Amino acid sequence: MTSSDHLPVTPFEERLWAARQDGQDALCLALLRDADLALPITAAAAAGT
pLDDT tens digits, 3-48:
556 666 888 888 888 888 888 888 878 888 877 766 665 566 667 7
Q: What is the pLDDT of residue 9?
A: 80
Coil/strand/helix, residue 20: helix
Domain ranges of the chain: 11-47
Whether the pTM exceeds 0.75: the reply is no
